[in-house]
């Protein structure tokens, strides 16, 4: 068995990236963060990749958090640097030019929840538990948890999860808008694959434009965001995929997108 903290496979345009530390409940140490960062950077450039699925090895955890044994001895300067390494990864995922689906197969706590929130879509097993338990360790979320919780679930949800530190069920996460879908654990892989295949067959350049419009425009004021959306809308008129998609609609047939 490989000692690499991350495994990667690709099939039919779907790149699966798996955190491979089941004996540590897939906890994020610095090596794992940096390996994930490199894996997502490569996925962004890979011509054969249209969508990325992120998950954790084993049946217990997606990612149960950052590696406490590594953090225990860090100085304040090292702690801030560790936070920045994690935030760089989360930002790369969030800004990836291809859709990223978090397949949450178990515990998604602390850094694991922050990792899931950086993904574009989140599908969770009904047995999954999510939370930001850093308060119980005398810590503050450091990989973007406070900010993404605020944006995804709102102020009340962010304060509840971060101040109380108690994990919540997948169903509660769905109610708060923190996950998109909850499915039976036995159906998680099949349902995630179905969703990934749907995205892999969609128009790639339109997907990129939508991701840009939401991620970049969403950080602007409404006027700037609308202007950015119009720019993305106009750009797709230069693509053959747009001509193919609209022609297929008019001709009542299935489009064949070519990523150009």
- pLDDT at position 221 over 90: no
The backbone torsions φ and ψ at residue 7, rounded to the nearest 5 degrees and listed phi first, read -115, 150
- pLDDT at position 109 over 50: yes
For 229-256, the pLDDT digits (tens) are 999 999 999 999 999 999 999 999 999 9
Mean pLDDT of 122-128: 98
**Whole-number average pLDDT of the chain:** 95
Alpha-carbon distances of 96 from 57, 149, 156, 206, rounded to whole Å: 23, 19, 28, 14
Mean pLDDT of 211-235: 90
- pLDDT at position 1 over 70: no
Mean pLDDT of 135-152: 96
Three-state SS annotation for the chain: CCCCCEEEEEECCEEEEEECCHHHCCCECHHHHHHHHHHHHHHHHCCCCCEEEEEECCCCEEECCECHHHHCCCCHHHHHHHHHHHHHHHHHHHCCCCCEEEEECCEEECHHHHHHHHCCEEEEECCCEEECHHHHHCCCCCCCHHHHHHHHHCHHHHHHHHHHCCCEEHHHHHHCCCCCEEECHHHHHHHHHHHHHHHHCCCHHHHHHHHHHHHHHCCCCHHHHHHHHHHHHHHHHHCHHHHHHHHHHHCCCCCCCCCC
Mean pLDDT of 2-23: 94
| Total-model pTM | 0.95
Whole-angstrom Cα distance, residue 168 to residue 175?
11
For 29-50, the pLDDT digits (tens) are 999 999 999 999 999 999 999 9
- pLDDT at position 2 over 70: no
What pLDDT is attached to residue 3?
Answer: 80
**To the nearest whole percent, how much of the chain has pLDDT over 90?**
93
Mean pLDDT of 199-207: 95
Known catalytic residues are 114, 134
Domains of the chain (ranges; CATH) run 6-200 (3.90.226.10), 204-250 (1.10.12)
């Amino acid at each position: 068995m490989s000692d690499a903290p991350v495994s990667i496979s690709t099939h039919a345009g779907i790149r699966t990236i798996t955190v491979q530390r089941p004996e540590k409940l897939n906890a994020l140490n610095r090596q794992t963060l940096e390996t994930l960062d490199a894996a997502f950077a490569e996925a962004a450039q890979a011509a054969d990749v249209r969508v990325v699925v992120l998950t954790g090895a084993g049946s217990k955890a997606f990612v149960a958090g950052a590696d406490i044994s590594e953090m225990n001895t860090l100085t304040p300067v090292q702690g801030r640097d560790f936070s920045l390494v994690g935030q760089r990864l989360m930002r790369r995922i969030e800004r990836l030019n291809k859709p990223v689906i978090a397949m949450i197969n178990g515990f998604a706590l602390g850094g694991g929840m922050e990792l899931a929130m950086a993904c574009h879509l989140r599908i969770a097993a009904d047995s999954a538990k999510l939370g930001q338990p850093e308060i119980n360790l005398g810590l503050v979320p450091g990989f973007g948890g406070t900010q993404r919780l605020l944006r995804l679930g709102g102020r009340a949800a962010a304060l509840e999860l971060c101040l109380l530190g108690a994990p919540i069920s997948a169903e509660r996460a769905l109610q708060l808008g923190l996950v998109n879908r909850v499915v039976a654990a036995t159906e998680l892989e099949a349902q995630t694959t179905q969703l990934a295949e749907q995205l892999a067959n969609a128009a790639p350049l339109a997907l990129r434009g939508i991701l840009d419009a939401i991620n970049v425009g969403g950080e602007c004021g409404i006027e700037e965001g609308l202007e950015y959306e119009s720019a993305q809308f106009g750009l797709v008129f230069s693509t053959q995929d747009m001509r193919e998609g609209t022609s297929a609609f008019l001709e009542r047939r299935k489009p064949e997108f070519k990523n150009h």
